[in-house]
Amino acid sequence: PRASVFTDLTIVPEEDRALETVLERDTDSADVLVLQRDPGIRPSGRPGETGTAHYQPLGTQDAQVIVRAPAASVVLVRNAYDRHWQATVDGRPSTVLRAEYMLQAIPVPRGDHTIVLRYRDPWIVGGLVGSAASLIAMIGAATAFRFRRRWVPSRDQRLPLEPQSGEDQA
């Protein structure tokens, strides 16, 4: 599934060790979520007790996850982790953690919740502004070049600077 609820966690802060832990674990420990940072909650579910998570994309950079957690839990979202992802849980800002070395995880308290994920890269706005400025500069330069050609007389229309040979100089 695109999203799952976990109540059993292990924290492995070192990036290389987290990858090794994910790659080397056996299928019996696949129900233990590997996080690289403390989620700030203490899952307290009973063994075998799991919640539900239903993922729904809301566009190319937004998604919603409807969660039912039997206890304080961490929701694993199988999207690539990036620091520009932002999350809210029931409308309040939450933390997007790195899980399973490369995926997203969001801590939730016990109960029913709505997680909204949004991807917001601040460089996109800067790139758009820079592109717009470049386009305006190119249009300005093309316009100036066109008017310059219109107002500069051609070679045949220019007045001679020196009298032609054989003409009287007065």
24-33, 48-57, 111-120: lowest mean pLDDT where?
A: 24-33
Identify the pLDDT of residue 55: 97
C-alpha distances (whole Å) from 81 to each of 56, 109, 118 are 17, 21, 12
Please state, for a pLDDT cut of 90, what percent of the chain lies above it.
Answer: 52
Q: Quick check: 60 pLDDT over 70?
A: yes
What pLDDT sits at residue 129?
A: 79
Higher pLDDT, 126 or 61: 61
CA dihedral 137, 143, 147, 148 (to 10 degrees): 40
What is the model's pLDDT at position 119?
93
Least confident of 16-30, 79-93, 118-132: 118-132
pLDDT at res. 121: 78
Query: What pLDDT is stored for residue 28 in this prediction?
Result: 65
Q: Provide φ and ψ at 108, rounded to 5°.
A: -140, 150
In this prediction, residue 165 carries a pLDDT of 62
11 pLDDT band, cuts 50/70/90, is very high
At a CB cut-off of 8 Å and minimum separation 6, what does 2 contact?
55, 77, 78, 79
Could you write out the DSSP letters of every residue in 20-37? HHHHH--GGGTTSEEESS
Secondary structure of residue 91 in the 3-state scheme: coil
Distance CA 73, CA 150 (A): 72
Question: Which pLDDT value is given to residue 53?
Answer: 97
